[in-house]
Amino acid sequence: MSGLDSLMIAALSLANFAAEISAKAWSSDLAVDYKSDGSSLTQADLLIETRWREEIKRQFPSHGILGEEYGSDTGTSAFTWVLDPIDGTRQFGTGLLNFASLISVCRDGMPVLGIIDMPGLRARYAAAEGNGTLFAGRRVRSSSRRDMTEAIISLANPDSFGRESASGYENLRSTGRVRVFDGGAPAYGALARGLIDICLNGDDLDAYDICALCPVVQEAGGKITDWYGQPLSLASSGAIVASASPELHAKVLARLSPGI
């Protein structure tokens, strides 16, 4: 068993725990609090990340951890777990289903394993470097589309695009065959599955929102970067874009460049 295989087994176990907790919380009387930045927070977020951290420290005591709720614990190995217990808490707290648990492992700062788990739909994307992307236990691929005018485009909440990125958002919103909005992390899974061709997010992302998406998109044949075309890593934050093929990605970046 390779190192990534053992990490994937552990990550899937963490996802199973989170799915049970978040599904139960979503079905109950949700109590939503708000952080100082205005983002939503539930007890499920805190419970999941606490358990995740305990398990990671027990199984991999030398690994680092970066989580949305409890910050960074520096490790002594090349590996860092990047965790978002409920990505899309705004949707989760309002009874919508497009939320996900995000689990990633970075090696030397670069994402090499990612899980997008959607417990409300009992659906999961899992990917590790060199092993492809799995959805519902089967390998999936991006559409490989190259023509932007025929593309199905997922655009984040318009409020997430600040002054510098707003024009890039408008440039992309004016093209494509079909546009959907505020799909969150599940949209990047749908891109890996060949159902969406372009995903665009604005300035409000952090590493724990980003890292799990990277292996899922890349191992399915897609490309994901920041708006400048730079690779994404543990140090990344801000606006990102993913495309179903490298050729399409180059066209998307050119379309965004006036807004950068």
Could you list the residues known to form a binding site for Mg(2+), using ranges: 68, 84, 86-87, 209
Q: In the 8-state DSSP scheme, what is residue 221?
A: T
Q: How many helices (H) and strands (E) are present in the chain, helices listed first? A: 8, 15
CA distances from 155 to 27, 91, 138, 219 (A): 28, 16, 27, 22
CA distance 17 to 52: 9
Three-class DSSP labels, 54-89: HHHHHHCCCCEEEECCCEEECCCCCEEEEEEEEECH
Cα(215)–Cα(221) distance, rounded to whole angstroms? 10
